[in-house]
Structure 1
């Protein structure tokens, strides 16, 4: 088994640790390290209860041991049990980070919603939770693959659909929600999706989007520049550029959303730790859950992009597995204080004629 190759033209180390387009807007304080419990681990089995969802409803095609949607062959994200486990952990990570908010499930100031759409619903966890909490609302979740749910509230409808095709919803929505859709579309496809979202919202409706920055950072010198995790983000940014579906959605979506007609978009930036090293309890808990998200999701994030768009040539599946195993071991280092940016483009002002936006970028 050969060793995984590094990118032939990695970005400068400074780019791997300090994304200027985000850092100059952030002004975020350093996260205090808990020296008494300093570990990047997710505390063993404490978070193993993250549900491995049943895959009996999942269909698609198998490639390099991962299952993908049969609707589109160009989307990098698997739709199998391992990836749904990672997505579930990401959902609970966000709920933890927003546990001090009036409504942790979304930040848009929607009052008594009647119709809600979740684009890219994945395992359907967010849609099911929202439908359960708001029984008077009808919640639709759409994705390229059937969500593997075994129960849902009667007001929740999960279906296979491609939002690049014509939308056939009879309702206009109070809220359209998207999360972790980076790399799903080309630039022009993103414009099409935002325009359709605008056209299918009620006057005064809201769009809320949650994304992440794939690059990891550290406030101290615990992230060595010669490690695989330090160059992880730039490696995949290069792959996505070659694929024509950029992963830097958090840097470009605000302008595209405003171009679609949304107004008063407000952007906020915060840090999301990986591991239980922060002193702050909320960040510690979120970091532990985020560790589960990363360790469960690494192979799914890497396999399609590196085997199709790796540099200097596409990698083999075995090379990807070796690479992922090494990155996973690096994440377990007990003195690694890493995080990634969460960009929260919050709601704009909604009035009778304009749609507002909540833009939430994360991870």
Structure 2
């Protein structure tokens, strides 16, 4: 337990907590992307994988995505792996949630049809990312797919409703700078496509989402997504901020109380209905030849 939040005991350099509040945040993110892709043939993934036999979810968190895939494909074996045990007390019989570090040697013997990652920004150094993508490539069957979804931590608006000197306007750069000092960049959504291609994947495609924060859009689907995303951000702010600010804040590491006050002020800004704010999220998928 550090500054009131629980973290994995396997690694002391990863910013993400592993507690109920963080799992609530991850579940909200899961629902957000289901809503944003509700017009797709399969909202769970865009890779053209019709009847997978073996699926791996890296950074599974509470296991929600892995459980949904296992439910949808009862003939598949689905593994979810994370640094900390998930809270799920029940999973489908074809779903296995495991505690492991994917930087270590992989022990799965199966050739996967699909390997999925989501919201892994800041988890690895550039060298570690290259290693993870190579392991994904080596453990996929020929014709199998990798798919990754990452958000942009910068908050934006198109209509000037977000003041340039507001805390929200500076939020993204604050944490991009913290992560740069930590050596684990948060700009994964900008770099993952090129790194996936460098690992040997082909036919690599991407889709860029503008994710509203708040129920301000007129479009019903985006209004629903924005309402969910506001909850996603409100519950996630402290977990996203605490580790990075207290370890890598500038001009020197912040105290936990300073971080909490900052988060509370940012959360207050989020609630302002006049703000028409959004962030990017990018989805990338590619095939092993």
List, as ranges, runs of 4+ consecutive aligned residues in structure 1 with deviation greater than 3 Å: none
Does residue 262 of the first structure (1) align with residue 233 of the second (2)?
Answer: no
Task: State the secondary structure of the residue aligned to 2:87.
Answer: coil
1: CA distance, partners of 2:208 / 2:72: 28
Q: 1:329 aligns with which of 268, 277, 286?
A: 268
Residue aligning to 1:175: 114
Distance in 2, Cα, partners of 1:179 & 1:110: 18
- The question of whether the paired residues in 1 share the 8 Å contact of 2:59 and 2:81 is answered with yes
CA distance in 2, matches of 1:116, 1:267: 20
Matches within 5 A, 1:171-250: 171-250=110-189
Deviation, structure 1 residue 111: 1.5
Tell me the CA shift for residue 269 of structure 1.
Answer: 1.8
Cα root mean square deviation, aligned: 0.8
Aligned residue among 137, 158, 165 for 2:97? 158
Q: Secondary structure at the match of 2:142?
A: strand
Measured in 1, the distance between the counterparts of 2:199 and 2:185 equals 19
- Structure 2 Cα separation of the partners of residues 286 and 107 of structure 1: 18
Structure whose alpha-carbon radius of gyration is higher: 1
Where does structure 2 lack aligned partners over 5 or more consecutive residues? none
Alignment partner of 1:99 is 2:38 = yes
Instruction: Measure how far apart 1:322 and its partner are.
Output: 0.2
Aligned residues: 289
Q: TM-score, normalised by structure 2?
A: 0.99
1:80-128 deviation digits (Å, cap 9, x = unpaired) = 0101000000000000000000000111110210000000000000001
TM-score normalised by L of structure 1: 0.79
Using CA pairs below 8 Å that are at least 6 residues apart, which structure has the higher relative contact order?
A: 1
Q: CA deviation at 1:339?
A: 0.3
Return the offset for 1:264.
2.1
